[in-house]
Chain A
């Protein structure tokens, strides 16, 4: 009997100890500062750059980095706007250059103090609110096994009415808007005529990047709007070499993705530390094979073999952000009118 009682007491002690140690560990857990980053889903997914960047950052910050993933760049911004000043986000990561103006206007962002002088974007980076984290160029992709007569410029794509083209809607997708700006910087005031010509041999205009790209992979079009880096994915992951980017003698239009800190970040120091981290090696070296984009600083061995075989831009086009935010609506209407004729 005595024995049994002591056994029970021992068990109770064990349970108590277990509970206590749990409470202690919970306490430690709670005291670890947390950083919440809103981003788009493919960035945070298991095969995206997110998880590795999380590990790299947590190794030096003694904190916990949490991603909240939304469906698109537009989704991130909508969410932050809906939440307003009480947003749980410390950082928004994954807005594109075209959303920058609207995001600044919302008054929800804080200025950064990151030194961006080493940034390798086409034109020197100067922005008080945003830090770029990766870059790429919009391009039309073709399948070399199927398309023999390859165009060499955007103009040849537009004017070759035999060529079946798929692109994305500028109203609902980033590449679509990229093409709109690309067309505008190549054709200027004659863009509406060019859109009209293009619409004669457009297979379809999809809502997002993946709808169009999947249709292209099924053979529904000769060329599809994507990025110059797309072929690298097929080479590195699938070992397929037939997908290539159409060269653009007029120059490519760049895509730059940016991050910003929120004014009401719960932990401003930690958020600022992350903003600095974006331009460090621990972040940038994961970009190439995680996000299939180019890093924005010079890093050693950051790029796998396949990236050197990609179409390199001879010339890069660009429109001022101020002009874009002012004219965007008008240009979308111009496109809409031209292609619904």
Chain B
């Protein structure tokens, strides 16, 4: 048996193109020469090391707190049905696409100097100065952004719990706590390292939050230094060097996280079932209720603040304006192709990975490490700032005579690449599970290609729906890359929002933000339901 079968060649080609473009565009960055100082002078600046240690510290705290709150909340959401639960879960998946500045202003409306909380506290006679600016503010915003994300991923890993286990626990009379301890927790634990790394990297490279709520350059991140080198000092070598430093540090953290967590495998058991018969008690009801209430009290007010402009006349005026819909059209024109591209790349990854899993099942030699590497390779993408990636791509394409006419394709490509980590995370576990369950059946009955896909579709469509939903809303909300390639013709919704805010039109900008989030909600619903089918996952 050769190492690669011809069946996986197309997928392997897609991966090869993907990797080649990535390496070439990063390589293009390193070919740029400037007369500015060498890497030694960059690395010897004490400020860079102070930044690094602060980045690490705040990212660590943000991640631990986000996950710490997410675990009990996930368990509550798994067990309790209540009105608005689905809407809440959809809202949770949007926390990643709310434009940072809009979310920060939402947080300020609640926790700020003239915010609702301090007004309320003053009303009952408590004088508290909420220290919003500094580490506290950064953590608050990061937990606001990432705790919902953690909940989403934890929920997803719990959908892999086989019905038989829940049935058994019911027969044995498990209490609510026991179900959590012996059934849910082991499943959650499996996805913790990857959630940790995901959130850690998002916080580590956090930019606008840290700069706005950090209270000064004392609280800053490496990403800020990269941006600054690229945009204001025109020092591409320095930006590349700092990006390498960022990748190196994150990889080191990833190494330790994965090194000291045990290798785990999903169960091979059959389809899942969400019916919950767990024995209920008033104590567990009270605990669940209070966890839920606390979480809602924390998460909902800023969302409400973000949505209030929807009830103004200005919102209707904004909706009736032509430029608004032009921006919507541009955004969709970018988001849909980028989603498709992302899915193609993700499925290619999955095909190759499944091929090796199949080989491992039948042969002595284990190829699992390769499947695992593919699953985690998405993380590396998260460590490279999108602006650095886009600049590299630009440097690569420009000598070939491709410039702004090509800007659109670059944006689509970079967006697809940037959403890949999220899509892989959703898609791969489900597809791997299919392979491990049915590998022998497929081989014995010679089920391959399109037939195999048709057979699997009912089992995987929920995941595909969720993955495409993430891909489409993440590209829709992106504004980092488009800024570099921006032109009059490519005014996307997030860019339009920042133009408005950039010329004093704060309130109209807030209306556009509502529209952006609204469109994301609709697209999310559409993807999860029409692609995901009746077992749709949110």
Which of A's residues lie within 8 Å of B, judged by CB?
A: 41-42, 44-48, 66-72, 74-75, 77-79, 81-83, 86, 88, 102, 164, 169, 171-172, 199, 202-211, 213-215, 217-220, 230, 233-234, 237, 292, 336, 339-340
- Whole-angstrom distance from the CB of B27 to the nearest CB of chain A? 16
Contact of A70 among B101, B323, B403, B483 (CB under 8 A): B483
Q: Measured between C-beta atoms, what is the minimum distance from B112 to chain A in Å?
A: 5
Most buried by A among B50, B212, B232, B486: B232
Residue on A nearest B505 in the bound complex, by CB: A47
Q: Are A206 and B217 in contact (CB under 8 A)?
A: no
Which of A42, A83, A172 contacts B502, CB < 8 Å?
A42
Contact in complex: B211, A207 (CB < 8 Å): yes
Indicate if the CB atoms of A340 and B231 lie closer than 8 Å: no
**Contact indicator B133/A82 (Cβ below 8 Å):** no
Given contacts A211-B208, A214-B501, A217-B506, contact A339 B484 (CB under 8 A): no
Contact call B108/A41, Cβ cutoff below 8 A: no
Report the 4 A-B pairs with minimum CB-CB distance, sorted nearest first: A219-B114, A71-B483, A207-B211, A42-B503
Sample of 28 A–B contacts (CB below 8 Å) = A41-B498, A42-B502, A42-B503, A68-B488, A71-B498, A72-B231, A81-B234, A82-B395, A169-B211, A171-B228, A172-B227, A202-B216, A204-B211, A204-B216, A205-B215, A206-B212, A207-B207, A207-B224, A214-B105, A215-B104, A215-B108, A217-B506, A218-B105, A218-B112, A218-B114, A220-B112, A292-B504, A340-B50
CB nearest neighbor in A for B231 = A74
Instruction: Report how far A234 CA is from B3 CA in the complex, Å.
Output: 69
Alpha-carbon distance between A237 and B398 when the two chains are bound, in angstroms: 42
A-B contact count (CB 8 A): 141
Q: Is the interface of B mostly helix, strand, loop or mixed?
A: helix
**B499 close to A75 (CB less than 8 A):** no
Query: Is B488 in contact with A209, judged by CB distance below 8 angstroms?
Result: no
Residues on B with beta carbons closer than 8 Å to the beta carbon of A66:
488
User: What CA separation (Å) do A205 and B213 show in the bound complex?
Assistant: 8
**Whole-angstrom CA separation of A73 from B484 in the bound complex:** 12
**Across the interface, do B213 and A78 meet the contact criterion of CB distance under 8 Å?**
no
Residues 488-520 of chain B, each 1 if its beta carbon lies under 8 Å from chain A, else 0: 100000010011011111100000000000000
CB distance from A282 to the nearest CB of B (A): 20
Contacts A67-B488, A211-B212 given; does A82 touch B501 at CB 8 Å: no
B residues with CB within 8 A of A: 47, 50, 101, 104-105, 108-109, 112-114, 132-133, 207-208, 211-218, 224, 227-228, 230-232, 234, 323, 391, 394-395, 398, 403-404, 483-484, 486-488, 495, 498-499, 501-506
Q: Check A205–B211 contact: CB distance below 8 A.
A: yes
For B499, what are the chain A residues with a Cβ–Cβ distance below 8 Å? Answer: 41-42, 45
Question: Which residue of A is nearest B401, CB measured?
Answer: A86
| B395–chain A nearest beta-carbon distance, Å | 7
Q: Which of A69, A83, A207, A237 contacts B488, CB < 8 Å?
A: A69
* Complexed CA–CA distance, A218 and B483 (Å): 26
Closest to A42 in B: B503
Contact check, B228 vs A204: say whether CB atoms are below 8 A apart: no
Let me know if B108 and A218 touch, CB within 8 A: yes
Are the CB atoms of B486 and A69 closer together than 8 Å? yes
